[in-house]
């Protein structure tokens, strides 16, 4: 959409290599067509959306409404997921709306150095998510009634000691698992565990981490995760859930090892 059209905005999904033909998704947000805009040696994958529905005013009004944001974010992700399955992609954040192609390119140019470094860091790599859950539910409390106050206190102390010991073993196992997986990846990040309303599981999430893995190292990484899974099941009553590969959302502003120049937010 060259030039500013007050009835439309340009929505940016992400950046891809400009000289590598790849299949594009058929549709984006609200079934909008997908096209690309040249940006130096890269291309920006975009859709033209109705300004009344997805412009700044719409985001200001609905941006905190999960019922409105969720389908938009899901469609945004679907485009990026399609792209990462066919090549490298540098995801851009929501909301990624601009009044015209020229405004989009100008905004990206203002962060070109950061984008170039991020692209070099992410090229040839994808994100894998690792979540760890317990394999068993907490032990039920004893049904018998204590015969005295002293017995009650001793039982409580014993239960607290057992929980503390169990918690310590799990924390050590979680730390060691993350360290092993981190050594097998280019970068890693530990995120806040998701609650049961999101996971749909009764068991609490104990670890929620992401790892940036080179495409030619994926099978080795997955094999390592499988070994750790069997070890955790056997020794720590925990199990690993691995999902991916995903667009490298968690690492767009991560620092490349020994390179302190990559920092700040991507527009």
- Domain boundaries of the chain, sorted by first residue: 8-110, 125-251
Please name the fold of domain 125-251.
Answer: Alpha-Beta Plaits (3.30.70)
**d(Cα 167, Cα 204) in Å, to the nearest integer?**
13
Q: How much is the pLDDT for 200?
A: 85
Which comes out higher in pLDDT, residue 212 or 22?
Answer: 212
What is the C-alpha to C-alpha distance for residues 213 and 182, in angstroms, rounded to an integer?
10
Helix axes 149-183, 218-236, angle to 10 degrees: 160
pLDDT at position 197 is 83
Burial (CB count <10 Å: 0-12, 13-18, 19+), residue 266? middle
Structure letter (DSSP) for residue 29: G
Is residue 209 over pLDDT 70? yes
Q: What is the DSSP string of 41-56?
A: TEEEEEEEEEHHHHSH
| Chain segment 29-81, per-residue pLDDT in tens | 999 999 999 999 999 999 999 999 999 999 999 999 999 999 999 999 999 99
| Predicted pLDDT at 165 | 60
Query: What is the reported pLDDT for 164?
Result: 59
Tokens of 259: 């390179």
- Give the DSSP H/E element, type plus range, for residue 209: strand 207-214
* Omega cis (within 30) before 245: yes
Let me know the angle formed at the C-alpha of 99 by 253 and 46, rounded to the nearest 5 degrees: 55
Q: Return the higher-pLDDT residue of 112 and 150.
A: 112
Cα–Cα distance measured from residue 250 to residue 176, given in angstroms and rounded to the nearest whole number: 21
Q: Band of the pLDDT at 199, cuts 50, 70, 90?
A: confident
**Alpha-carbon distance values, 182 to 168, 179, 224, 230, 232 (Å):** 21, 5, 11, 18, 17
Measured between alpha carbons, how far is 173 from 231 in angstroms, rounded to an integer? Answer: 10
What is the three-class DSSP state of 135? coil
- In Å, how far are 97, 176, 229, 238 from 42, measured between CA atoms? 19, 39, 39, 43
Sign of the four-CA dihedral 177, 183, 184, 185: positive
pLDDT at residue 262 is higher than 50: no
SS3 190: strand
Contacts of 39 (CB under 8 A, 6+ apart): 15, 18, 105, 108
Asked whether residue 267 carries a pLDDT value surpassing 50, the answer given is: no
pLDDT for 8: 93
Instruction: Give this prediction's pTM.
Output: 0.82
């Amino acid at each position: 959409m060259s030039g500013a059209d007050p009835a439309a905005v340009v929505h940016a999904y992400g950046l891809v290599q400009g000289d590598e033909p790849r299949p594009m998704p058929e549709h984006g947000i609200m079934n909008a067509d997908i096209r690309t805009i040249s940006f130096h040696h890269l291309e920006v994958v975009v859709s033209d959306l109705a300004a009344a529905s997805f412009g700044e005013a719409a985001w200001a009004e609905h941006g905190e409404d999960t019922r409105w944001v969720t389908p938009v974010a899901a469609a945004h992700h679907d485009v990026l997921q399609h792209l990462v399955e066919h090549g490298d992609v540098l995801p851009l954040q929501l909301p990624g709306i601009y009044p015209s192609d020229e405004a989009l390119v100008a905004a990206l140019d203002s962060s070109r150095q950061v984008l170039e470094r991020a692209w070099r860091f992410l090229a040839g790599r994808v994100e894998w998510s690792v979540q760890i859950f317990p394999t068993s539910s907490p032990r039920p409390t004893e049904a018998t009634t204590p015969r005295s106050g002293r017995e009650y206190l001793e039982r409580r102390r014993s239960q607290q000691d057992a929980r503390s010991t169990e918690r310590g073993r799990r924390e050590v196992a979680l730390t060691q698992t993350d360290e092993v997986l981190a050594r097998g990846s280019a970068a890693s990040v530990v995120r806040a565990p998701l609650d049961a309303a999101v996971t749909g599981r009764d068991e609490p999430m104990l670890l929620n981490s992401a790892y940036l893995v080179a495409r030619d190292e994926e099978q080795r990484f997955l094999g390592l995760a499988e070994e750790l899974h069997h070890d955790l099941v056997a020794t720590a009553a925990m199990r690993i859930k691995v999902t991916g590969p995903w667009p490298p959302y968690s690492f767009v502003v991560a620092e490349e090892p020994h390179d302190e120049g990559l920092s700040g937010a991507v527009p």
